[in-house]
Amino acid sequence: MPNEPDSDLLKRFVQGDEEAFRLLFRQFEVEIYRWILRIVRDPSGAEDVVVETFWRAYRARARFDSSRSFGAWMRVIATNAARDHLRAMRPRASWVETTDEIAQSVTADPGIDESVVLAFRKLAPKLQVVATLALIEELPYAEIADALDLPLGTVKSSVFRAVQKLRKELARMGIRR
């Protein structure tokens, strides 16, 4: 995440100063985009979620506690917006196609990759977020707990549940080892 903005800029943001908000947007947009992309794994969808994230931040600016990190606050909002995006996308059959932009196959059998993506997208959005950050991006559990505003133990148990469910779903699809 970029350096913390100065307190005057944050104060102006909380008061609704649009120029202060624009400066904060410019400072954080790329990092927030990359964070969201890690979760939703769809470049175009991630752009929509960035817009949603900054809109939510602007709407909630009065509740921002300036004694806390702006970057961490934004990350929590971005994670929630990304999770809502996954929830909205979940029933759509086109999920596999949208993830193809990033998910260029590296296994010998692209059919297995496709099955893994399908199985993964069947997980509840909350589990998808935790599992993406822990198993795919391999972030430390403490960092995930901060980003999701969850206790460490909840993150660990969510990862465990995600792996159990994935294993079961993959076996059902005939992927065993």
Partner 1 sequence: MSDDYVKNLLHSAFPHADSREPSRDLWPSVVERIQAPPEWSPLDVYVVVSVVAGGTIALVMLPKALLLLASQL
Report if residue 13 touches partner 1, rule: CB under 8 A: no
Report if residue 34 touches partner 1, rule: CB under 8 A: yes
Report if residue 87 touches partner 1, rule: CB under 8 A: no
Quick note: the x/- pattern for partner 1 over 125-154, rule CB under 8 A, is: ------xx--xxx-----------------
Structural tokens at position 37:
């992309």
Report if residue 163 touches partner 1, rule: CB under 8 A: yes
Helix axes 110-121, 152-172, angle to 10 degrees: 130
Q: Which is nearer to partner 1, 58 or 76 (CB)?
A: 58
Report if residue 112 touches partner 1, rule: CB under 8 A: yes
Report if residue 116 touches partner 1, rule: CB under 8 A: yes
Q: Which is nearer to partner 1, 67 or 131 (CB)?
A: 131
Structural tokens at position 135:
């198993």
Q: Which residues bind partner 1 (CB under 8 A)?
A: 22, 25-26, 29-30, 33-34, 37-38, 41, 43-44, 46-47, 50-52, 54-55, 58, 99, 102-107, 112-114, 116-117, 120, 131-132, 135-137, 163, 166-167, 170-171, 175-177
